[in-house]
Amino acid sequence: MSGLPVLIGGSEVDELLRYQDLVPRLEAALGQFSSRTGEVVQPVRTILPLEKYSGYLGVMPAYIPQDDVLATKMVSFYQRGEGSSMPNHQATVLLLDPERGALQAVLDGKAITDKRTAAVSAIATKLLKPARADVLCLLGAGDQALSHYEALTQMFPFKEVRRDGRRAARTSAVAPGA
Ligand SMILES: NC(=O)C1=CN([C@@H]2O[C@H](COP(=O)(O)OP(=O)(O)OC[C@H]3O[C@@H](n4cnc5c(N)ncnc54)[C@H](OP(=O)(O)O)[C@@H]3O)[C@@H](O)[C@H]2O)C=CC1
Ligand SMILES: O=C(O)C1=NCCCC1
């Protein structure tokens, strides 16, 4: 390996990953994934159950030969009790040199997970939303609710946003009245 891998922390990833860049790139990647010509090599994610802790570890490798990009995400997710201060989801993305297999970068994967998931929903919404649908409803008020709120309101001019979720009453994860 030549040199140490680059480390990119959560706030830097969050700053760099903008929906206006992410959405078109993801749309292209989804098209590559769905093509019949094997443009994306992505086995079904491996899930390791952590029964003792009501959790899972997911490992999600993928390779895009055309772009010569090799990466894997590792994500842990847990069923936490109400009021728990332990995190529900944590993720790390490893970027490797596909020719040598050397590790090139380690990225905090939490913002990637939040924004990737919301961006895919936004793409699906773009393709499926009836023109007259102008009220956004968010179920839950956690991290995904916030990232979906951001992605969807950036892409569509909703007249109204409704939300539910136990946390909605207690925090301002999504701005009150938003
Ligand atoms: N497909 C994908 O790629 C991804 C899927 N996910 C999934 O999305 C979901 C949300 O994730 P995330 O936002 O990060 O999680 P959070 O823990 O941040 O938020 C979960 C939300 O659900 C609410 N909730 C949980 N249990 C109940 C209940 N019994 N009744 C009412 N509300 C409840 C919580 O309320 P409260 O705050 O009051 O506890 C909270 O508002 C999860 O199922 C997660 O696994 C997440 C990331 C990626
Ligand atoms: O794909 C992911 O990333 C996740 N999927 C299910 C739950 C946690 C994260």
CB within 8 Å of 43: residues ≥ 6 apart: 61
Please report the pLDDT score of residue 168 as a whole number: 55
What pTM value is reported for the model? 0.89
Ligand 2 in contact with 75 (CB < 6 A)? Answer: yes
Over the chain (178 residues), the average pLDDT of each successive run of 10 is 88 97 95 87 97 97 94 97 91 98 98 97 96 93 94 96 70 45
d(CA 140, ligand 1 centre) in Å = 6
Amino acid occupying residue 142? G
Please report the pLDDT score of residue 171 as a whole number: 47
Please report the pLDDT score of residue 38 as a whole number: 76
Domains of the chain: 6-128 (3.30.1780.10), 131-177 (no CATH)
Query: Mind spelling out the 3-state secondary structure of 31-64?
Result: HHHHCCCCCCECCCCEEEEEHHHCEEEEEEEEEE
CA 159, 166, 109, 72 dihedral sign is negative
Please report the pLDDT score of residue 2 as a whole number: 64
Please report the pLDDT score of residue 37 as a whole number: 82
Please report the pLDDT score of residue 3 as a whole number: 84
Q: Which of 47, 77, 166 to mutate to test the pocket of ligand 1 (most atoms within 8 A of CB)?
A: 166
**Burial tier of 51 (Cβ tally within 10 Å: 0-12, 13-18, 19+):** exposed
- Which residue's CA is the closest to the ligand 2 atom numbered 1? 113
